[in-house]
Amino acid sequence: MNEKGVSEEELFAQLSSFSNADTNFKKVFSSMCTIPHPVAVAAQQQFSLSNIGDPGLFQGTSQMEAEVIRMSASLLGHPDSSSAFGHLTSGGTESNIEAVLHMKNRFLNSFSNAENAIENAVENTVENTVENTVENTVENKSNNDQLNQFKPNLILPKTAHFSFEKIANLLDIELKKADIDSKFRAVPESMESLIDENTIGLIGIAGNTEFGGCDPVESLSKIAIKHNLPLHIDAAFGGFVYPFLPESDSSAKSSSMKGNNIKAGNKKIKFAFDLPGVTSVSIDPHKMGLSVIPGGILIFRNESVLYPSLDKIKVKTPYLTIKYQSTLTGTRPGSSVAATYAVMKHLGAEGYRKNVAYCMDLTDYFQKELNKIGLKPYIEPEINIITLHVGDGKDKTADREKTEKIRAELLEKYGWNVSATKTVPALRFVLMPHVTKEDITAMLSDLKELLEI
């Protein structure tokens, strides 16, 4: 740090040059974030000093957070949104961490036998490590197996977001990955077959990151109830999309704003609290919610589904105006709460439906134009994500190389940011609100040139 500070003039000149090196979202097809709505930005500035980690000092922000939770629960089909329990997070990753942490605590509490067994296994391993030499590696191994035997596991589809890899490491749990169908959605039978006595819960995804598919949550909900397991739905991306998709069934009741409730538009796709087995849902206002970064929302059906885990993570907070804190993070940005409140209230269901309709129009247009030049998405897009096959499908390695080459050339030659998928070799386009029809026309012409079509 310099001894003397720089002048404001110099400072802002520096900031401008940093800002110019960042994207302004022009030519970006790879991001699930977008330009926030102006009311969200204004509210963020107005509440820049607010810390929702100490709600007694920021009672106004606290009221807004409660209202955001209630509006979101109602959007997610909660039968009694006032009993929903949740808070704002920094995004999908933090929401998933916290949901799985509660699953693990619940498991450890409910299965005291398993807990004792883990303790015994740990003790044995420690003892062995102290005493052991080369001779009893075999014994050691069997102790490790014993340890693994009691390792908590989480069942999720292969298409789950990479945040779960971090969670497995952080919380020391095993991930059991279920098969996916031809549309890249979880196969319920496969999910169920993976359940064993150490399973702590199930994960379903509404709007998976690579393909935008929605897992069959109705079936997962039944499985969760049958096996008495928590079911967390990761709707980080889909949470602000599925409820606002145009109604395909003309006989469906027209959706409306009732009081302060945002009513879901498309009742056909059930993925959240309208299914009784769903215990928690994560949605990200900083993606299709048009709010600012950081913006995530984690909601539990009610406080009692967290028993007895909530008590475990509740800590006494003698320096704050509240007695306890039970969120993963301490100081939290009240500015994000205000921004999310602002954009949800200002847009209402009607505004979000318009936003989704715009993105879906772009998606349909792009897909039709791609079909015209003989390029096919892997699946018919359900939401505003297109995963495009550019190889000939004969050899996966060759397809991967070709995909990577096209992706790199799109960036180097034309400045387009597009991502590639891991599950299959494909280019991935997210049709966010900052994308225009002109962008798509230009992209098509550049793709044609690169692919020599």
Ligand X SMILES: *Cc1c(COP(=O)(O)O)cnc(C)c1O
Contact 227, 219 (CB under 8 A): no
Examine residue 234 and tell whether it contacts ligand X (CB under 6 A).
yes
- Closest approach of ligand X to the CB of residue 11, in Å: 30
Examine residue 292 and tell whether it contacts ligand X (CB under 6 A).
no
Q: CA 211, CA 237: separation in Å to the nearest integer?
A: 11
Identify which of residues 99 and 447 has a Cβ nearer to ligand X in the complex.
99
Which of 34, 209, 291, 403 is close enough to bind ligand X by CB under 6 A?
209
Which residues make Cβ contacts (< 8 Å) with residue 71, sequence separation at least 6? 81, 260, 261, 262, 344
Identify which of residues 236 and 275 has a Cβ nearer to ligand X in the complex.
236
Examine residue 377 and tell whether it contacts ligand X (CB under 6 A).
no
Identify which of residues 208 and 291 has a Cβ nearer to ligand X in the complex.
208
Number of residues written out for the chain:
453
- Closest approach of ligand X to the CB of residue 161, in Å: 3
Piece in contact with ligand X (CB under 6 A), picked from 204-212, 302-310, 357-365, 366-374? 204-212
CB-count exposure of residue 447 (10 Å: 0-12, 13-18, 19+): buried
- The closest alpha carbon to 210, from 394, 5, 382, 397, belongs to 382
Q: Where are the beta strands (DSSP E) in 258-343?
A: 280-283, 296-300, 315-316, 324-325
Examine residue 334 and tell whether it contacts ligand X (CB under 6 A).
no
Identify which of residues 39 and 236 has a Cβ nearer to ligand X in the complex.
236
- Closest approach of ligand X to the CB of residue 441, in Å: 27
**How many chain residues interact with ligand X (CB under 6 A)?**
14
Piece in contact with ligand X (CB under 6 A), picked from 117-125, 132-140, 229-237, 258-266? 229-237
Which of 86, 91, 216, 334 is close enough to bind ligand X by CB under 6 A?
91
- The closest alpha carbon to 148, from 93, 192, 196, 183, belongs to 196
Identify which of residues 295 and 391 has a Cβ nearer to ligand X in the complex.
295
DSSP codes joined into one string, 161-176? -THHHHHHHHHT-EEE
- Closest approach of ligand X to the CB of residue 91, in Å: 2
Which of 29, 47, 184, 237 is close enough to bind ligand X by CB under 6 A?
237
Examine residue 284 and tell whether it contacts ligand X (CB under 6 A).
yes
Distance, C-alpha 453 to centroid of its chain: 36
CB-count exposure of residue 361 (10 Å: 0-12, 13-18, 19+): middle
Which of 163, 199, 279, 336 is close enough to bind ligand X by CB under 6 A?
163
- Closest approach of ligand X to the CB of residue 238, in Å: 7
Examine residue 159 and tell whether it contacts ligand X (CB under 6 A).
no
- Closest approach of ligand X to the CB of residue 267, in Å: 22
- Closest approach of ligand X to the CB of residue 177, in Å: 15
- The closest alpha carbon to 272, from 246, 301, 315, belongs to 301
CA angle 289, 294, 298 (to 5 degrees): 70
Piece in contact with ligand X (CB under 6 A), picked from 43-51, 70-78, 88-96, 108-116? 88-96
- Closest approach of ligand X to the CB of residue 284, in Å: 5
Examine residue 336 and tell whether it contacts ligand X (CB under 6 A).
no
Examine residue 205 and tell whether it contacts ligand X (CB under 6 A).
yes
The C-alpha R_g of the chain, in whole angstroms, comes to 24
Examine residue 240 and tell whether it contacts ligand X (CB under 6 A).
no
Which residues make Cβ contacts (< 8 Å) with residue 4, sequence separation at least 6? none
Examine residue 156 and tell whether it contacts ligand X (CB under 6 A).
no
- The closest alpha carbon to 155, from 187, 178, 181, belongs to 178
Strands 385-389 vs 324-325: parallel, antiparallel or unpaired: unpaired
Pick out residues in 296-315 that bind ligand X (CB under 6 A).
296
Strands 385-389 vs 427-430: parallel, antiparallel or unpaired: antiparallel
Examine residue 236 and tell whether it contacts ligand X (CB under 6 A).
yes
- Closest approach of ligand X to the CB of residue 430, in Å: 10
Which of 36, 77, 86, 92 is close enough to bind ligand X by CB under 6 A?
92
Identify which of residues 198 and 291 has a Cβ nearer to ligand X in the complex.
291
Which residues make Cβ contacts (< 8 Å) with residue 33, sequence separation at least 6? 286, 287, 293, 432
Examine residue 93 and tell whether it contacts ligand X (CB under 6 A).
yes
Q: CA 337, CA 50: separation in Å to the nearest integer?
A: 9
- The closest alpha carbon to 346, from 400, 290, 306, 295, belongs to 290
Examine residue 161 and tell whether it contacts ligand X (CB under 6 A).
yes
Piece in contact with ligand X (CB under 6 A), picked from 2-10, 85-93, 392-400, 432-440? 85-93
Which residues make Cβ contacts (< 8 Å) with residue 234, sequence separation at least 6? 92, 95, 96, 160, 161, 203, 204, 205, 206, 282
Give residues in contact with ligand X (CB under 6 A).
Answer: 32, 91-93, 161, 163, 205, 208-209, 234, 236-237, 284, 296
